[in-house]
Structure 1
Amino acid sequence: MPHIDYYFVTISPWTYLAGMRLEEIAARYSATITYKPCDFNRVFASTGGLPLAERSQARKDYRTQELKRWRKAREMDLTLEPAHFPTNPAPSAYAIIAAQAAGGGDVGKLTHSILRACWAEEKNVADTDVIKACLEDAGFDPGLADSGLLTGAMAYEANAEEAVKVGAFGAPFYLVDGTEKFWGQDRLGMLDLYLSGQLD
């Protein structure tokens, strides 16, 4: 049974544009997923990347153009400059970590709900009430937003360290069985082909 380690940040528009396709692909091949939200500013600092604010204007302009294209291609609502971006991704990441540990709900749905809250609904995903609503919508106890903060913080940091060690450098990043790396929502088709056995 294949396993996918999924590294991402909860305020990434590219992770949002992945939608639920990872979960759909995993279901086709009975693959398991471990969700590993992490601090990608730390990952960038260790792998040569730059936070958005520090990138050249040419890169920022191209990012905007690409977001427009992918928004249309994926037929997804996406606000190019949402009201609460950037915001602190840690609280929503802690909630995902706590929910995954607790079980009983749909972690994929929770993750996408948080991303959608930021990019389509213009909500602040650092806000406890927003996080609780996403938890409840995905079948989890909303109280998870208030519990396990220390454990969540430790896991959040560990996920970033692990992301660097395995070679992740951008979000979303998918690692299959500890060896095959796929970067970006636009590589999910390749991940699908790999799991199907069509790629070596």
Structure 2
Amino acid sequence: MEKTKISLKLLLVIAGLLAVLSISPVMADDSLASSESPKYQGDNQNTGQSPYNGPQTNQTPWNYTLNSSESITIAPAIGPDGTIYLPVTIRTNTHSYCDLKAINSDGTLKWNYTINNGANSNSYFTGTPAIGSDGTIYIPGYTVSEGFLLALNSDGTFKWNYITECWSGSNSPAIGNDGTIYTTGFYQGYTSGGY
């Protein structure tokens, strides 16, 4: 009889925990674009998981080639229409600058948006773009003096730029279900002892 009471209590505790977990709030991705990978690691929980099977054959449908001064240091994002948003760093003899390339699903260049402040003034993207449900592309970066969060329309035109006090720029943004954009960064200030 005592074992039955303990087993029943344990069963009730487990059932209660399952009930609480099943009604716990979960962060919705309602404001992210409905695509395979609208931001870093694919979703606001950064799971990196794909619902799709990988390639079953060894056939490459297309290849987009960068020139020798361009490099990829940040992961791309994919828009709801299949457009790939690829952050690229371009290095010259005098400086580095950033270029966001929008590549069509057939491998052709759709548009690019360049941030180039000229010789001796470097700029870099610092995180994977996030694509909002309205098609807005949000991408973080920094210049020599400040960080930024750039917003572009889906056609590659400028929407807005938020300047941050983060010297290093920001990490890949997340978009809340109410449309709020969340990003992080750090400020590296100078002191009498150096950094």
TM-score with structure 1 setting the length:
0.24
Structure with the higher strand share, 1 or 2: 2
Ranked by relative contact order (alpha carbons within 8 Å, sequence separation 6 or more), the top structure is: 1
Structure (1 or 2) with the larger CA radius of gyration? 2
| Superposition TM-score, scaled by structure 2 size | 0.24
